[in-house]
Amino acid sequence: MIPPHDHPRVPAALLAAVSSDLRPVRPSPPPSWRAIGILPLALAAVIGVFYFIGMRRDTAVMGPVLAWGASFLQVLLAIALVWIATRENTPAHRLPKTFVRGALVAAALIIVGVSLWTFHARPIVIPARFSAWRAAYSCGLNSTYAGVILVVLVALILGRRLLAERPALVGALFGAGAGIVVNAGWRLSCPVSSLSHALGAHAGPILITTLVGAAVVSLMARVAWGRQS
Amino acid sequence: MKDDEALRILMVEYQAGSLDAFQEIYGALASELLRYLRYLAREPDNADDLLQETFLRLHRSRAAYNPTYAVKPWLFGLARNVFLMKRRAARRFTAVHSTSADLPDVSVPPEVDRLGSAHEIRRSIAGLAEDQAEALLLHHEWGFTFDEIAGMLGVTAVAARARASRGMAELRHALSQTRRVGA
């Protein structure tokens, strides 16, 4: 151990800044716990979709695996993406880029796979007397609203201490997670399972919330770094 | 240099409000961090500012540290982020890293210290690909494991090892070329 008198001295300005605020702080939980901590919010979002939109009437016909199991899988997938984001936001705990890219590709494949599975099991299309565009607009817009609210909440909860090298990636992962959670609820509310509707109006908003998440967290990082310097 | 267990205890004390603990952490890691930042920034003056910003960032984000993390990699990772955020803000990446005459302010890895003078070795390190040089130095100069380097750079441990290994091979090759030309 180096004797104290050989240590580099803390510069006066830094020492003054540190001394001025030494209130005790509680150590942050590890990334896995922070991600799991979002689970109640994710479940509340799914329940919120049921509350405001209602549930499709054929969930009993769909069976528990396709109805609840697939949506629960999506919620777990969203939590996994949030976990990756919190790792990315923790210095020296980043996951390999290939792993992050692989997780995003896997998430996209799971969403497409669940949509295909649902359509295969319950091929319900929009009746001819209704406008497909209006239905897509309604589902897409409301999914996007819900997703954007959720990603902003997640960013405010988990992005308060931004230490990421790539804040846009952190935000994109938060956004993808939020969009997938909303999709998990929406697919159990909207009875239409045609692929154009499911992928366009239900899964499309996931892309939008991903972009919104990237923008929101980038902005938060810019504000945080601007404030520091 | 304190071992990481002692640093973790200091970080917990610092989180509890101890100024002495902060000063000890600074004393234990500032010199190494400064050399790392000088290597990244290639500008001694800029590195001093970056060091202060890193510790200021540490202070403002001290709650983000979890006692299960090893302190030294966490702080080096934080310093790297500070450097990259500043570089992004300044948009000076090309200007900083295309200057081949700039020499990183690092000591010479013992594995190659017989292959050339300190000046030649530093210049050869400066000529390595950025990713190889960083992995090489993080391992040989600052003693990080490949798992720790992987977490800092966002790559797999295998990739971190491969980068360091390729960097060392390139460095040996560059030094042998230099000696051949000199002879």
Question: Per-block average pLDDT, block size 10, for chain B (183 residues)?
Answer: 86 96 95 91 84 94 94 96 84 49 62 76 85 91 93 95 93 81 61
Measured between CA atoms, the residue of chain A closest to residue B3 is A1
Kindly state whether residues B125 and B86 are assigned to the same domain.
no
pLDDT digits (tens, 9 = 90+) for A16-34: 999 999 999 999 999 999 9
Kindly state whether residues B148 and B113 are assigned to the same domain.
yes
Q: In which domain, by residue range, is A48 found?
A: 29-123+131-228
Mutation choice for B interface testing from A5, A9, A10, A160 by most B CBs within 10 A: A10
Kindly state whether residues B118 and B146 are assigned to the same domain.
yes
Kindly state whether residues B115 and B170 are assigned to the same domain.
yes
Contact A92 B152 (CB under 8 A): yes
Question: Which residues on B lie below 8 Å from A163 (Cβ)?
Answer: 57, 61, 64, 78, 81
Kindly state whether residues B72 and B144 are assigned to the same domain.
no
Kindly state whether residues B114 and B183 are assigned to the same domain.
yes
Counting Cα atoms < 13 Å in the Cβ hemisphere of B87 gives 20
Per the structure, the count of domains in chain A is 1
Domain end residue (candidates: B65, B99, B133) = B99
Q: Which residues of chain A fall short of a pLDDT of 50?
A: 1-3, 5
Per the structure, the count of domains in chain B is 2
What confidence score (pLDDT) does residue B120 get?
82
The partner residue sitting opposite B62, judged by closest CB among A25, A98, A229, is: A25
Kindly state whether residues B95 and B106 are assigned to the same domain.
no
Kindly state whether residues B37 and B85 are assigned to the same domain.
yes
> In angstroms, what separates the C-alpha of B110 from chain A's closest C-alpha?
22
> In angstroms, what separates the C-alpha of B33 from chain A's closest C-alpha?
12
What confidence score (pLDDT) does residue A7 get?
66
What confidence score (pLDDT) does residue B159 get?
96
Is A181 within 8 Å of A154 (Cβ atoms)? Answer: no
Kindly state whether residues B108 and B77 are assigned to the same domain.
no
Contact B73 A221 (CB under 8 A): no
Rounded to whole angstroms, the Cα distance separating A119 from A114 reads 9
Question: Which residues on B lie below 8 Å from A94 (Cβ)?
Answer: 77, 151-154
Whether A195 maps to a domain, the answer reads yes
Domain end residue (candidates: B99, B129, B164) = B99
Measured between CA atoms, the residue of chain B closest to residue A84 is B154
What confidence score (pLDDT) does residue A8 get?
80
What confidence score (pLDDT) does residue A199 get?
94
CATH number of the domain to which B52 belongs:
1.10.1740.10
Q: In which domain, by residue range, is B163 found?
A: 101-183
Question: Which residues on B lie below 8 Å from A161 (Cβ)?
Answer: 61, 63-64
CATH number of the domain to which B110 belongs:
1.10.10.10
Domain end residue (candidates: B33, B65, B99) = B99
Measured between CA atoms, the residue of chain A closest to residue B63 is A27
3-state SS, one letter per residue, for chain B: CCCHHHHHHHHHHHHCCCHHHHHHHHHHHHHHHHHHHHHHHCCHHHHHHHHHHHHHHHHHCHHHCCCCCCHHHHHHHHHHHHHHHHHHHHCCHHHHHCCCCCCCCCCCCHHHCCCCCHHHHHHHHHHCCHHHHHHHHHHHCCCCCHHHHHHHHCCCHHHHHHHHHHHHHHHHHHHHHHHHHHC
Indicate the pTM of the whole model: 0.88
